[in-house]
Structure 1
Amino acid sequence: MQIFSRINRNIRSLRRYRQVLGVLIKYGFGHVVEQLNIHHYLHRGKQLISRGAARKEIEHLTAPHRLRLALEELGPTFIKLGQLLSTRPDILSVEYTRELGKLQDKVPMVPAGSIREVIETEFGQSVETLYAEFSFSPLAAASIAQVHRGKLHSGEEVVIKVRRPDIARIIETDIDILQGLAYLVERHLASGTILNPVALVKEFRRTIEREMNFNRERHTIDRFRENFLQDATVYVPQTYPNYCGETVLTLEYVDGIKVSNFDQLREASYDLKTIACNGANAILQQVLVHGLFHGDPHPGNIFVLPNNVVCFIDFGMIGRLDRELTFRLAELLTAVLQRDVERLVAILLYSGDLTEEIRRPELKKAVSDFVDDYYEVPLQEIRAGRLLIEFVEILIQFRIPFSPDLMLLAKTLITMEGIGRQLDPEFNMVGHLKPFMSRLLQEKVGPTNLSREGMRMMQSYGALLKTLPDDLKEFITRINRNKFKIDLEHRGLERLITDLDKSSNRLSFSLLIAALIIGSSIVMQTDKGPLLFGFPALGILGYSIAAVLGLWLAIGILRSGRL
């Protein structure tokens, strides 16, 4: 049975492969397909796809715009991939990340029967048994889930998030294809080893699998709720564990006003400045205190409740910062505000390994220019999110590794600053940041953190000292027995071998064509054998074969773009 299941999955993948190729070629990325050598495996499928692929209506669009349209057409998995790439300027240029940030789900609503089937399969009970009321007309529909309104038998108003049927199978097939394409990119494209696409797809697989598992989202919401339980300015909806599973998530219904409905907020006598302050403090507390922050705080995900309380919903996308990175972030912002170039360079050097060809003076010059842009700029004019993005651009320029969550944080701060300034024209995110940074820097040099760091170092060195004698003994033993080996890996040699293989094949092809032409010419001089139009048929056949092979070779060379 497993064999048939695997066969069906492979057939499904092949069909999807052809569809993916078709969309890429349609939107002008056929040259990428060529470089990946996919046509060797899907040549016929590609021929069928290519017909009529060039459409004049998309020829005038930019490459980032065409990529966004292609990902939207390919569906949920590729939309989510594009959203991930929009937070990775270390992989794509700013033009691409900005365009991919516009990606939108365009999905039809799931029929009521399918929604009922998902819920009843998850809990083994009918919808009517589980809920006193359930509206099959959705409040919202996205690529992975659909949201419905309902009511529990105990009287609580709830919203029910239901995973789309078959979405797990679709995403599994697409990720298998992405994994295969990633290996091809790494093997055939010159930038493949720099981009590390295989690791990117693995990271994407982990991210989307977490997003599809609603049990994990429930635990995340519970963590957020616990973090803000004693904060009267922030509210997080509660979950109902008995009505939650891997495919269904039941949450408290929050009757609030969207933070972007300014007129409605004013009519309800809310204080917009207080709302902006509460929202900023909530995000900064998530980032700098808890290390767990909402990764998509757009206006549709933030509601305002009575007493100017800010309520966050939809925790499908979250970011995480460990304590060390949080301390470093506070030091970075403090150094920028104090215009301390030397300290900034030290932070950068500590952030990761610099490549050998980058010199410290060049890095110092880039940091000086970065700091000069903020020299004598009033605090209320500094955009914290924009500042963080510019800092990340320096990391990218000097190939200094950094956490992808840092870029997600920058986008989060930009979104919150935009909302804050709409609520309050005098809103100043840096002003809200300063007390948090002061507390963080005090915590870093405080006795609790120092003792924790000291204990961690003692444990690390203790483990090293414990294994060091055995490691030294094994090392010396291997040398004495001539069994000490060093493994060397030559990167990029595979591409050279592939190119040499292509060149030798073309050369062999050329020799074969030349031999056919010479042999046919000799046959033409003999006047022996059957004649065709007064000439030896064998000679005409040889010329014809040579012409076809020569034309084939010429087309292959022209299509490769290497004359």
Structure 2
Amino acid sequence: MLLEFLRLKRTYRNISRIRQIVNVFLKHGFGQFIEQLNLQRVVPFRKRLKILGTPPELAGHTIPARLRLAFEELGPSFIKLAQVLASRPDLITKPFADEFKKLQDEVPPFPFHHVRETIKQDLGLSPEDHFESIDETPIAAASIAQVHYATLKDGTPVVIKVQRPNISDIIETDIIILKAISSRMVKYIPETEFFNPTGIVEEFSKTIRKELDFTEEGKNASRFRRNFSGHPHIFIPSIFPDLVSKRLLVMERIEGVRIDDIEGISRLGLDRTEIARIGVDAYFKMFLEDGFFHADPHPGNLFVMPDGRLGLVDFGIIGWLSPDMMESIASALVALVKKDFDSLIDEYIALGLVTEDVDIEAFKREFKADIIDFLIPLYDLTISEINIAQYLDTLMHVAIKHRMKIPSDLLLLNKCMLILDSIGRELDPNFNFISIAEPYASRLIKSRYNPKKIYKQMEKQIKDLTNFATTTPKQVSILMRKVLKDDLHIKMTPLGLDRLIRDIDRSTNRLAFSIVLQPLS
């Protein structure tokens, strides 16, 4: 009976939220989209009469701008979804990405009594039992949590990150609705299947659920602290495990100024060029040595400390890189420095994970032809003159054109590099991203020839060969039995059609994209 009641309550909440979402989309001129999804019935009949067209007050706004305004009004889940999409140029066009980047994850703070309640419920004792003092005014308030300064009983200055009341339930409700909407998009607007809306929502739901579990963030922070143990220039604050729950995180306080506070850094008497170098150096340690990186390096998460160290906070979003990925990234960077563009293309294809059904040689020829117009001018540039942001942007767009399957962690890496390049140039106009990255890349490539590493690789290959030798006779036996029973089926694919199919597929996708956007205008 209780389970049925909870289901009924959630259903009622879902219906109420769906109605709100539909009304917001109508308000921002997406009535025809709502009609295509057959969702117009959730609003009163009088509002259905206004379902088509763009409201006069929004007539001067572009479609991406109107969608941003709608997401902003719909709150945390949609703001977070837009931020995920903004870092996925393989899924949305640049005008949409640029608009979504404008979304600010800043909201009014919630009352302090909720902070006290969360501490008491999750830690089992009142705040006074754990803390000497807590500042009631938060230093930051975002859609998922807010942060307060506090002091432990032993005098240690800390910060407390506390989740918003009921935010988990709110987001879970929105995830259910977003999954339903994405399914309806595929059902009622088949051409949207190219953009994989159900996959986007699934990826978003995994990301946001991890962000909602502060125990995961605590584990990430502890891992970063171990990775940078003894590092002279990087500070990762300590986590207090006994004061961590899914909704609560207590960590050591960082004293310093934001990395984009140019005046503040000058007041500390620090060298901005050195700060930029330290930041990029730290991230390339993560990218090419650790394979585990802080994936949200916006200026609010990077602090310059009075002693010149760089402090990192907010470890909710992280990326992973396999050893093979790290080697390909390193090789690509070295190839760029040496202007060995054939090798660069080889490594970029390796990173893109081209599907097995593609004719690799034909693909390389097409890919090289598309990218050569950008690469040729690099021959006449010094490394310091190469614009890494333009370089990454061009490579990404060529990859998208060829529908390369780019892993989400590589997209996070791409986003990090663009942000770091922007921060570096703000700190130092002569900042050069590639020259700082190259030594890490060269060191990783040299490690390929380390005797211990070669021995491990040989050991693995011998194991693989042993497995092959063990399993092959059995597989041959199964094959022969099928032949003797006349039960062998061979799948045949006509040769020479793959390029034609790809060309038709691309043309269809371009047409689909225009069809999807047309009703929104």
Bin the TM-score by the shorter chain: 0.7 to 0.9
Q: Within 2, Cα distance between the matches of 1:322 and 1:48?
A: 56
Bigger mean CA offset, 355-364 vs 478-487: 478-487
Q: Give unpaired runs (5+ residues) of structure 1.
A: 489-559
**What's 1:118 paired with?**
118
**What's 1:36 paired with?**
37
SS at match of 1:162: strand
Letter in 1 for 2:404: I
Q: CA deviation at 1:145?
A: 0.6
Bigger mean CA offset, 280-289 vs 430-439: 280-289
**Structure 1 vs Structure 2: percent identity of aligned residues?**
33
Residues 386, 410 of structure 1: 8 Å contact kept:
no
Residues 295, 319 of structure 2: 8 Å contact kept:
yes
- CA shift in 2, pair 1:99/1:461, >3 Å: farther
Q: Within 1, Cα distance between the matches of 2:118 and 2:401?
A: 48
**What's 2:232 paired with?**
232
How do 1:129-148 residues align onto structure 2 when only pairs under 5 Å count? 129-148=129-148
Say if 2:84 is the partner of 1:84: yes
Q: CA deviation at 1:215?
A: 0.6
Letter in 2 for 1:425: P
Q: CA deviation at 1:425?
A: 2.4
Q: CA deviation at 1:207?
A: 0.9
How do 1:133-532 residues align onto structure 2 when only pairs under 5 Å count? 133-350=133-350, 351-353=352-354, 359-474=363-478
Residues 72, 106 of structure 1: 8 Å contact kept:
no
SS at match of 2:61: coil
- CA shift in 2, pair 1:258/1:466, >3 Å: same
SS at match of 2:378: coil
Residues 330, 440 of structure 1: 8 Å contact kept:
yes
Q: Within 1, Cα distance between the matches of 2:148 and 2:172?
A: 26
Letter in 2 for 1:58: L
List per-residue Cα deviations over 1:159-212 (Å, max 9, x = no partner). 000011111111111111111122222233343332222222222111111111
Letter in 1 for 2:38: N
Bigger mean CA offset, 81-90 vs 111-120: 111-120
- CA shift in 2, pair 1:29/1:131, >3 Å: same
SS at match of 1:191: helix
Q: CA deviation at 1:263?
A: 2.1
Q: CA deviation at 1:234?
A: 0.8
Q: Within 2, Cα distance between the matches of 1:297 and 1:363?
A: 31
Q: CA deviation at 1:129?
A: 1.1
Residues 28, 70 of structure 2: 8 Å contact kept:
yes
Residues 258, 302 of structure 1: 8 Å contact kept:
yes
List per-residue Cα deviations over 1:409-458 (Å, max 9, x = no partner). 22222222222222222221111011111111112343333333333444
**What's 2:13 paired with?**
12
SS at match of 1:208: helix
**What's 2:27 paired with?**
26
Bigger mean CA offset, 108-117 vs 476-485: 476-485
Q: Within 2, Cα distance between the matches of 1:61 and 1:304?
A: 39
Q: Within 2, Cα distance between the matches of 1:362 and 1:84?
A: 30
Residues 392, 407 of structure 1: 8 Å contact kept:
no
Letter in 1 for 2:39: I
- CA shift in 2, pair 1:59/1:322, >3 Å: same
List per-residue Cα deviations over 1:203-227 (Å, max 9, x = no partner). 2111111111101101111111111
SS at match of 2:104: coil
Q: CA deviation at 1:463?
A: 4.1
Q: Within 1, Cα distance between the matches of 2:380 and 2:296?
A: 32
SS at match of 2:307: helix
SS at match of 2:19: helix
- CA shift in 2, pair 1:484/1:12, >3 Å: farther
Letter in 2 for 1:78: F
List per-residue Cα deviations over 1:515-535 (Å, max 9, x = no partner). xxxxxxxxxxxxxxxxxxxxx
Relative contact order (C-alpha < 8 Å, sep 6+): which is higher?
2
TM-score where L is the length of structure 2: 0.87
- CA shift in 2, pair 1:478/1:198, >3 Å: farther
SS at match of 1:374: helix
List per-residue Cα deviations over 1:90-116 (Å, max 9, x = no partner). 110111112111111242311122221
SS at match of 2:159: strand
SS at match of 2:43: helix
- CA shift in 2, pair 1:422/1:107, >3 Å: closer
The match for 1:45 among 25, 43, 46 is 43
List per-residue Cα deviations over 1:320-364 (Å, max 9, x = no partner). 222211111122222233332322332344332357597443222
Q: Within 2, Cα distance between the matches of 1:70 and 1:296?
A: 24
- CA shift in 2, pair 1:258/1:32, >3 Å: same
Bigger mean CA offset, 45-54 vs 279-288: 45-54
Bigger mean CA offset, 277-286 vs 190-199: 190-199
**What's 1:68 paired with?**
68
Residues 284, 437 of structure 2: 8 Å contact kept:
yes
**What's 2:512 paired with?**
none
Residues 293, 318 of structure 2: 8 Å contact kept:
yes
Q: CA deviation at 1:11?
A: 1.5
Q: CA deviation at 1:148?
A: 0.8
Q: Within 1, Cα distance between the matches of 2:7 and 2:490?
A: 40
- CA shift in 2, pair 1:196/1:453, >3 Å: farther
List per-residue Cα deviations over 1:466-509 (Å, max 9, x = no partner). 44455555555566667778999xxxxxxxxxxxxxxxxxxxxx
Q: Within 2, Cα distance between the matches of 1:198 and 1:144?
A: 23
Q: Within 2, Cα distance between the matches of 1:448 and 1:192?
A: 50
Residues 216, 316 of structure 2: 8 Å contact kept:
no
- CA shift in 2, pair 1:143/1:479, >3 Å: farther
Letter in 1 for 2:35: E
SS at match of 1:303: strand
- CA shift in 2, pair 1:447/1:269, >3 Å: same
Q: Within 1, Cα distance between the matches of 2:254 and 2:477?
A: 65
Residues 255, 306 of structure 2: 8 Å contact kept:
no
- CA shift in 2, pair 1:117/1:460, >3 Å: farther
**What's 1:102 paired with?**
102
Q: Within 2, Cα distance between the matches of 1:255 and 1:187?
A: 53
Q: Within 2, Cα distance between the matches of 1:412 and 1:352?
A: 20
Q: CA deviation at 1:157?
A: 0.6
**What's 2:498 paired with?**
none
List per-residue Cα deviations over 1:380-408 (Å, max 9, x = no partner). 22233432232121111111111222232
Q: Give unpaired runs (5+ residues) of structure 2.
A: 493-517
TM-score where L is the length of structure 1: 0.81
Residues 296, 318 of structure 1: 8 Å contact kept:
yes
SS at match of 2:153: coil
